[in-house]
């Protein structure tokens, strides 16, 4: 009989995604006890007591800063995300924000709202509009720091709007490089981007190296009146440095998706309420992608788009499968195959991949795997988790 699974949702997840869990095998909801997997969007899991039977975490989005990834890795629990599923939504918000800043739309709207509708309204409008004269995007340069899925889409859209595009990404992947428009001028440093751009948009992950990458020293390099956009992570910028640059008119606007007390009320700051991925389409795309990944892992042991594990996908060639999460140490495969051989099992197929300190192994056997062997595998030094996945 096929295993059944319990899925706990910590946020509202698109029903279109949740429907992909077959009701015959899955119980899904916000109050599910003893879950096999947890789906989350923005809920902070760092202080959460995550049950020991949780086998996977699914983040219906790209960032995983709200998830204790390192602790889950020690337990052999993959953390799945949905890279690129919300990329178009973020791209559109970035382009919209560039246009809002270029045409001074926020202060212009506030100006009109402040007018009284008496007989002199037309005259006041004509007189007041002079202070909101803006610029057009063509022939201006946008500098993009981070050329992943979102950065590449922003580059393509900016080129189509007639802009010059400069990009920097020291860790660009092969796939991202192939998808990047050929018109993008490759910069050699963040500093080069800042010096040469009228608009600067950040699309880098938040790691130790990128925290406060936009700081006092680097902001001294920007063009006078440049516009800084941050729809990636709040801590990529030093807010105190940004406010200082705004007050000195070095920066014309700071457009971001992260309201804070320090930024609140500043006339040159436009803070949006975390709208980057808040479109119906993005929420559906993220939910569908992460549900499919969690299902494939729970049912088949396959791993795709886990932030802490290698991608390991192996087609079934035998009915009896074991999935083993382990530390990336020498002789692990030898110990696994030796234990199976001593138990009289024939290994039909095996796939092992590693990523940093983590490794994952799938083994298909020609006969049923006895419980004593599973316990023996779990006792091997460096093994973090063992799952038996016989075919339905």
Over range 230-239, report the average pLDDT. 96
Kindly state the percentage of the chain with pLDDT values over 70: 99
CATH number attached to the domain at 1-86+279-308: 3.40.50.720
Is-contact 38 7, C-beta < 8 A? yes
Q: DSSP assignment of 318-335, as one string?
A: SSEEEEEEEES-TTHHHH
pLDDT tens track for 170-228 = 988 877 888 888 999 999 999 999 999 999 999 998 889 999 999 999 999 999 999 99
Strand partners, 79: 57
Q: How far apart are CA 103 and CA 144, in angstroms?
A: 21
- E-state strands within 190-230: 199-202, 226-230
pLDDT tens track for 315-339 = 998 999 999 999 999 999 999 999 9
Domain with CATH 3.40.50.720 in the chain: 1-86+279-308, 87-271
Query: Looking at residue 190, what DSSP letter applies?
Result: H
- Return the residue matching tokens 């038996």: 388
Over range 111-139, report the average pLDDT. 88
Over range 351-369, report the average pLDDT. 95
- In this prediction, residue 2 carries a pLDDT of 66
pLDDT of 267 over the 90 cut: yes
Residue 124's pLDDT band, with cuts at 50, 70 and 90, is confident
Joined together, the tokens standing for residue 112 give: 């009109």
Domain with CATH 3.30.70.260 in the chain: 310-392
- In this prediction, residue 77 carries a pLDDT of 97
Is-contact 263 254, C-beta < 8 A? yes
Over range 223-252, report the average pLDDT. 97
CATH number attached to the domain at 87-271: 3.40.50.720
Superfamily holding 310-392: ACT domain (3.30.70.260)
Residue 119's pLDDT band, with cuts at 50, 70 and 90, is low
Task: Tell me whether strands 141-145 and 79-80 are parallel, antiparallel or unpaired.
Answer: unpaired
Is-contact 176 204, C-beta < 8 A? no
Strand partners, 251: 226
Joined together, the tokens standing for residue 368 give: 């049923």
Strand partners, 324: 361, 386
Q: What angle do CA 250, 256, 259 make, to 5 degrees?
A: 110
- In this prediction, residue 177 carries a pLDDT of 82
Strand partners, 151: none
149-160 and 87-102 are packed helices; what angle lies between their axes, rounded to 10 degrees? Answer: 40
Kindly state the percentage of the chain with pLDDT values over 90: 88
pLDDT tens track for 46-60 = 999 999 999 999 999
- Top-confidence residue, 30 or 123: 30
Over range 18-22, report the average pLDDT. 97
Q: How far apart are CA 133 and CA 28, in angstroms?
A: 53
- In this prediction, residue 67 carries a pLDDT of 97
- In this prediction, residue 179 carries a pLDDT of 80
pLDDT of 1 over the 60 cut: no
Q: How far apart are CA 135 and CA 161, in angstroms?
A: 13
pLDDT of 149 over the 70 cut: yes
Q: How far apart are CA 353 and CA 156, in angstroms?
A: 34
Mean pLDDT of the chain: 94
Over range 249-274, report the average pLDDT. 96
């Amino acid at each position: 009989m096929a295993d059944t699974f319990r899925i706990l949702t910590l946020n509202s997840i698109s029903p279109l995604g949740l429907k992909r869990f077959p009701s015959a095998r899955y119980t899904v909801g916000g109050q599910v006890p003893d879950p096999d997997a947890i789906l989350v969007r923005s809920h902070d899991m760092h202080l959460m007591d995550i049950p020991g039977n949780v086998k996977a975490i699914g983040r219906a989005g790209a960032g995983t800063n709200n998830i204790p990834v390192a602790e889950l890795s020690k337990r052999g629990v993959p953390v799945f995300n949905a890279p690129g599923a919300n990329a178009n939504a973020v791209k559109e918000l970035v382009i919209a924000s560039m246009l809002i800043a270029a045409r001074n739309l926020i202060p212009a709207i506030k100006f009109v709202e402040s007018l009284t509708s008496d007989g002199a309204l037309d005259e006041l409008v004509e007189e007041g509009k002079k202070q909101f004269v803006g610029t057009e995007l063509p022939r201006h340069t946008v500098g993009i720091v981070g050329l992943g899925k979102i950065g590449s889409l922003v580059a393509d859209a900016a080129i189509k709007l007639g802009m010059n595009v400069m990009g920097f990404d020291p860790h660009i992947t092969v796939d991202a490089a192939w998808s990047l428009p050929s018109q993008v001028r490759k910069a050699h440093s963040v500093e080069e981007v800042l010096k040469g751009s009228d608009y600067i948009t950040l699309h880098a992950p938040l790691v130790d190296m990128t925290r406060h990458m936009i700081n006092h020293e680097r902001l001294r390099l920007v063009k006078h009146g440049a516009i800084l956009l941050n729809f990636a992570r709040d801590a990529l910028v030093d807010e105190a440095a940004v406010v200082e640059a705004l007050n000195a008119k070095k920066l014309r606007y700071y457009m971001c998706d992260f309201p804070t007390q320090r930024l609140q009320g500043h006339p040159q700051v436009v803070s949006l309420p975390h709208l980057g991925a808040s479109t119906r389409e993005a929420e559906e795309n993220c939910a569908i992608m992460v549900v499919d990944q969690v299902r494939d892992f729970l049912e088949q042991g396959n791993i795709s788009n886990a932030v802490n594990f290698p991608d390991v996908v192996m087609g079934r060639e035998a009915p009896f499968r074991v999935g083993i999460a382990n530390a990336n140490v020498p002789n692990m495969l030898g110990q696994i195959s030796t234990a199976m051989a001593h138990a009289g099992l024939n290994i039909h197929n095996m796939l092992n991949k590693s990523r940093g300190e983590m490794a994952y192994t799938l083994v298909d056997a020609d006969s049923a795997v006895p419980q004593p062997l599973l316990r023996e595998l779990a006792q091997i030094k460096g093994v973090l988790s063992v799952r038996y996945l016989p075919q339905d």
